[in-house]
Amino acid sequence: MEEEFYFDFSDDAQRSVERYEEMIRNQDQYFFDAQAFENIIDYYIEKSDPVKALQVIEYALNQHPYAAVFLIKQAQLLFVTDQIDKAFFSLQKAEMLEASESEIYVLRGNIYNSLERFTEALDNFQIALTFAETTDEILLQIAYVYQNMLDYESAIKYIKLSLEQNMENKDGLYELAFCYDILDKQEESIQFYMEYIDNDPYSYAAWYNLANSYHKLDLFEKAIDAYDYAILIKDNFASAYYNKGNALVQLDRYAEAIEVYKQTWEYEQPNADTYCAIGECYEKLERMDEARAYYKKSVKMDNKLADAWFGIGVTLNFEERYFESLHFYKKAIELDDENPDFWFAMADAYYKLGQIEQSVEAYYKVLEYNPLDIEAWLDFSTVLYEQGRLLEASETISDGIKNNPDAAELYYRQVAYLFALGQHKEALVYLETALVTDPDKHYILFEYLPQLQDNNAIVEVINRYIK
């Protein structure tokens, strides 16, 4: 059956392979024309047997010493089996026989590219362009070289030239998206894909890449529309369903997202990431049993997926099963120990269990990995304040302010701590700064220390800023 699969294009090819294998068994010499040899070589290449394919080429070159095609195939196979010098030598011989064969230069360009000898790679591809009848693939190869040189602007230029010649080339569309992404030029990307779609409205790859660009700009509604077009054209497009699910999550449309994630299973095997994403949706809907069930399916498929372990912890935490949740947070941190969200959840669980020192250690980790988390600075300082560690609470907020100089919440909190420490003058200076930064949030101060509402000095300063 296997052989038929490779050679359903011709019975002649099938017979050539059988005759060749008979010749080897009989240790004889049969004659084959060049086409027959090509079929036999391709058969072994298809079967991923480069050693046998190279043996066939030896026979072919004995019988057809002037056929450059066999030298090119030989070079290809020598390259694949890491015999680089021999590959170059075969290409040199091929070039002497047939200097205008573009494949010689394409292959040589690819070898140079793999050796990171980019200038020589580009030179060879340029020669190939002069000889080749169709050049869209060669232009794409040139783009890959520029990508390897980290020159993404030039890569974009060549990908566009390639797409002008062959609108159907999906690889080009995805590579272009990749380059725009690296350069963070989503707007240009959107403009290109929209023009492309004007010419070819049925390109699902263009709609998909357009959707991804919208997604990266947080234009989730537009992204969803574009994913829908991609799905309309190619209804088994699992990645489009998955990314559409992610966009729905961003809009807090969790129930819809769950349905869309589940649709991916009609077209590909369920995987750990999808199970985890569904778990997260159920978690956001506060349907914790279902969330936990999906997180468990996720870790069963991939026990290295930190987010899923973490998710199980979150569902237990929601049910006030703090001690149990710690076990799962620790699993997540073992797999991803620089994730501030994991440490934050851990700090909170320890706090709720009254294990204050462990909580404090975990907060230090949160702020080491994400010093921009204002909530964490506030919560950490609260833990210290409640332990009567006033000075530490105030110093923590000072560090928070250094990292987040525009966060009014931190200034208001510092006012409260400085008052508690009896440093009234400094407190009023911080209060002024807080009011300049965001006067509307002054209620935070009274939420935290209600007795300050009766403090004339504070009320006076606030009244100056609030009309």
Q: What is the 3-state secondary structure (H, E, C) of 227-239?
A: HHHHHHHCCCCHH
Question: Mean pLDDT across the chain, nearest whole number?
Answer: 90
Measured from the Cβ of residue 251, the count of other Cβ atoms closer than 10 Å reads 13
Domain ranges in the chain?
399-466
CB 208 within 8 A of CB 226: yes
Q: How many residues does the chain have?
A: 467
Report the C-alpha gap between 238 and 231 in whole angstroms. 9
What is residue 3's predicted lDDT score, i.e. its pLDDT? 34
What is residue 2's predicted lDDT score, i.e. its pLDDT? 34
Global pTM exceeds 0.95:
no
Is the pLDDT assigned to residue 444 strictly greater than 90?
no
What is residue 11's predicted lDDT score, i.e. its pLDDT? 66
Is the pLDDT assigned to residue 8 strictly greater than 50?
no
Report the C-alpha gap between 52 and 399 in whole angstroms. 68
Low-confidence winner among 242-246, 318-322, 363-367, 436-440 (lowest mean pLDDT): 436-440
What is residue 63's predicted lDDT score, i.e. its pLDDT? 76
Average pLDDT over residues 331-343: 96
Report the C-alpha gap between 195 and 228 in whole angstroms. 18
Convert the pLDDT of each residue in 137-194 to its tens digit. Answer: 999 999 999 999 999 999 999 999 998 888 888 888 889 999 998 998 989 999 999 9
Is the pLDDT assigned to residue 4 strictly greater than 50?
no
Average pLDDT over residues 43-65: 80
* Four-CA torsion 381, 387, 388, 392, nearest 10 degrees: -40
